[in-house]
Copies of this chain bind each other. A is one copy, B any other.
Amino acid sequence: MDVLKQRILQEGQHLGRGILKVDSFVNHQVDAPFMMLLGREFARRFGYLKPTKVLTAEISGIAPALATAYALDVPLLYARKTRPITMPAEVYRAKAPSHTKGGAVELMVSPEFLKPEDRVLIIDDFLATGQTILALVRIVQQANATLVGIGAVIEKAFEGGRDVLAHLNVPIESLVVIERFEGERIIFRDPEEQKVSF
């Protein structure tokens, strides 16, 4: 998605050790109209799979997932990392190692909102190691719902997440794929080279 590549080249910053800062339009500050455009692109790519629900993990997945849910005209469901007092005691839960905090975070979803008849599209801001998305997948499986696809705004190919998710046999779509960083330079993968995992 060229408009996203351009934006990353203009505003993204490689902080070293594979960490890409996109705080000016994806996390922290969110370019709302641009985010809605990304949501429409996800809807264009996944609409044929007839998702009934978009699932993400708080916090930074919420914006792209809401944009996608709106474009698909379905609800968004975001897994919580701390249990709100309004959540029932029995929940679907799965652990994911925390990239930024160290240790592990637990993702929780109330059984009230994920049913066997649901067709779930997982959307997140980054596809890196794939571990957060894998935890979301386990929650979908606990609910006996159907996973129909996985979408990420930015894929960091060098962290191997796509391989971790390949066995799920669902389409995995990233709006841009970063092949590697060369110092401050961001090298995108050529669209023609993108691996098809389905």
- Verify if A6 is at the interface (C-beta below 8 Å from B): no
Assembly stoichiometry (copies):
2
- Let me know if B32 and A86 touch, CB within 8 A: no
Size bracket, chain A contacts: 35 or more
Q: Mark A75-91, 1 if CB is under 8 A from B, else 0.
A: 11110101011110000
A74: chain B residues within 8 A (beta carbon): 32
Closest residue to A80 on the B side, CB-wise?
Answer: B28
- In A45-59, the 8 Å CB interface with B consists of 54, 58-59
Q: Mark A1-32, 1 if CB is under 8 A from B, else 0.
A: 00000000000000100010111110111111
- Verify if A143 is at the interface (C-beta below 8 Å from B): no
Q: How many Å from the CB of A139 to the closest CB on chain B?
A: 13
Given the interface contacts A63-B66, A69-B30, A73-B32, does A21 sit within 8 Å of B78 by beta carbon?
Answer: no
Q: How many Å from the CB of A84 to the closest CB on chain B?
A: 6
Q: How many Å from the CB of A4 to the closest CB on chain B?
A: 16
- Let me know if A36 and B70 touch, CB within 8 A: yes
